[in-house]
Amino acid sequence: MQLTIRASGRDVQVLSYLLAKNPNHLYERQVNNHFVRMFFSKFSKEEVEVTFFVTPDPIELSRNNSERYEITSYINDREFVVSSIFCTFLRSALATALNGKPHEEYEHWVNHRFNLQFSFGPLSSQLSDNDIIDLFAPMGYKTTISAGEIDYHMNFKTKSSARYITVEGLTTLQMGLRQLFVLIPVLDNYKHYYIDDKEIEKLERYGEGWLDVHPQREFILRQALRFKDLYSLVEKQTEKGSNNQDNNDEIRTMRLNDLRYEKIIDSIRQIPFKDSIVDFGSGEGKLSVQLGFIEGVKEILAVEPSESASIKALKRYEKMARKENFLMPEQIIGSLFYFDERLKNKDIVILCEVIEHIDKHRLPKIMKTILNDYKPKVVMITTPNQEYNKVYKMNEEYRHPDHRFEWTRDEFREWCEIQNGKNDYELTFDGIGEEHELYGTPTQMCLFMRKEQ
C-alpha cells in the first residue's frame, strides 16, 4: 500500500516542513505489526517527491493465522489494499500535515496552494473508473486510473483487478490529504472499525471547506457512515450546528452498538443467577467492561482469540480498575472452536455479534459445545437482522465484509430451535434498535434459559 506526493514549482521544498519529515532521513515506524516507511525520491528547488509505504508483516500474519483470527477468521485484501486501515496507519505519520501544525515559522505555508499530485494504490473498489473520476473532478483534480500489470507463470490474465489512482491539481497539502482521508474509505466502501459519532466529527473536520459544496455529498456521507441512522444525524447536525449538545446526546443514544450493550446489560440485571459470565469474542472489551459494573456479578471471563485485541481490552479494564464497584474481567486467550474446562457450568454465556463471523457449517459444533458441554444456565445471542438491511438501503450483501451470512428473523428462529434439539432450554426472542413496521429491528436476540432453572 502506498501514497506518493509529488509537487512542482516554486518553494516546493517547504513541503518537508509541512510534513515534518527530514528529506535526508528514512522514516520508519511499526504500527500494529505493520511497517510504515517514508522516503524522498526527489528533493530539488522545483520538484519534490515523497512516498509513504505501509507493508504488512507476513511473519506475524502467518504466525497468528490459526489463533488470532479464529473467530473473526480472516486475512483478506483489506490488509494489502488502500483502505481505512491504510489511512489509520498513515494518520500518525501525516499528523502534522493533516492538522496544519508545522513549526511556527512555517505556519503561513499551510494555506499555500501547490501544484500537487497524489498517487495511491492498489485500490479494490466496486466503483467504475468514471465514478471515481466524478468524485475528484468537483475539487478541481485531473484523475488518471491504471491497472497493475501481473507477471503470472500461468496464463490467467494480464491485468490486476486492483487499480492505481493519481489525482492532480492546485491545492494545499492539508486540504489534499484531508480529502484523501475522507474519500479513500468511500472508494473502498469498507471500514475496519465501528462507525460512531466520532466519524461525524472527523468528517466535519476533514470535510471543512469542500464537502458541504461537493455535488456528491450525500453519496459520500452514505458511504462514509454506512448506516442510515448516522447519515440522518449528520444531516440534522448540518441544520442545527455541530456544537449542539442536544444533538450530540441524540447521536449517542442512537448508536446501535450502545443499544445492544444496553439490552444485554438490562437483560442480565433481570436474571436472578449471574455470579459468573462468559463473554465470547470479547474483542477490545467494550461489553466486558460494562459487565464489570453489574451488581451481583462475581466473575467475568472475557474470551478472545486475538492477542492485540486482548491487550487493548486489558488497558480498557485497567482504566476502570479504580472506579467504585468495578469487577475486573479475566482475559482468556481462547476460541469457540476449542473446549476449555474453565468455561463449564457458568451462569451466563454471551455471543454478541459473533456467530455471523463464522461459517454456517461450523456453528452446530460450537453450539453443541456450549449447550451440551459447558451447560450454562443462560445463553444470549445477538446477530444482525438481514431484513432490516432494506431500511439502510445498502448496496452490499452484508453489513460487514467479514460476515459469512445474515439471517432473517424466521431463519434465526429456526436455527435457534434446531440448536435446542434436546429441548433443554426455553427460547425467548427479542429485538434491539428502532423497530420498522415491516422489517423489524436492526439486531435480533435470542435468550436460551435452561428449563431446570
Q: How many residues does the chain have?
A: 453
The reported pTM is 0.50
> What confidence tier does 76 reach under pLDDT thresholds 50, 70, 90?
very low
Backbone angles phi, psi at 415, to 5 degrees: -65, -45
What pLDDT band is residue 66 in, cutting at 50, 70 and 90? very low
CATH number of the domain at 2-193, please? Answer: 3.30.1610.20
Q: What are the residue ranges spanned by the domains of the chain?
A: 2-193, 194-254, 255-450
Residues 6+ apart with CB under 8 A from 158: 149, 150
Q: Is 226 left (phi over 0), alpha (psi -120 to 50) or beta?
A: left
Query: CB-based contacts of 108: which residues, under 8 Å, 6+ apart?
Result: none
Residues with Cβ within 8 Å of residue 317, at least 6 apart in sequence:
285, 288, 289, 292, 328, 329, 331
In the predicted model, what is the mean pLDDT of residues 262-285?
94
The closest of 122, 147, 149, 145 to 135, measured between CA atoms, is 145
| pLDDT value of position 53 | 86
Predicted local confidence at residue 92, as pLDDT = 82
Say whether pLDDT at 267 is over 50.
yes
CA atoms within 13 A on the CB side of 2: 14
pLDDT, position 197: 55
What is the fold of 255-450? Rossmann fold (3.40.50)
pLDDT at residue 303 in the model: 95
Rg of the Cα atoms in the chain = 25
Phi, psi of 232 (to 5 degrees): -65, -35
